[in-house]
Amino acid sequence: MSWIDIGHIDDIPLRGARVIKTPVGCVALFRTSETEVFAASDRCPHKGGPLSHGIVHGQSVTCPLHNWVFDLNTGAAQGADEGQIETFPLRLEEGRIHIDGTSLGNRSAA
């Protein structure tokens, strides 16, 4: 893995999100607790809604357009017949968030 420093955990509000732009599209960072952050695609597969504008609860995010709920651990839609968002490995070191650049490079273009 090739880790890229993308900011401090305090840059993301608790139970909120921020977006980073990558060469292959936007990735949303979701802060679910004081010391927990997840990274996932910012687009809902249902209608393309911006998940970074959704409601963060537990370890999930709810799409702001049609209330699809996604598990931030797996990317799977909960309660929907089908649906998946891509997730990306993160690590925290002394409050700094690092995303796996290799996984971003392997992502298909948006």
The predicted-structure confidence for 14-63, as pLDDT tens digits, reads as follows 999 999 998 778 999 999 999 999 999 999 998 899 999 999 999 999 99
Question: In which band, very low, low, confident or very high, does the pLDDT at 106 lie, cut at 50, 70 and 90?
Answer: low
Q: Is residue 42 part of a domain?
A: yes
Which whole number is the average pLDDT over 56-85?
A: 91
Query: What's the structural domain count of the chain?
Result: 1
Q: How far is the CA of 110 from the CAs of 3, 42, 43, 81, 107, in angstroms? A: 22, 10, 9, 23, 9
Q: Is residue 25 part of a domain?
A: yes
pLDDT at res. 107: 56
Pairing of strands 77-78, 87-88: unpaired
Q: Is residue 79 part of a domain?
A: yes
pTM check: above 0.85? yes
Taking the C-alpha atoms of residue 68 and residue 62, their distance in angstroms, rounded to an integer, is 6
Question: In which band, very low, low, confident or very high, does the pLDDT at 80 lie, cut at 50, 70 and 90?
Answer: low
Return the CATH number at 76.
2.102.10.10
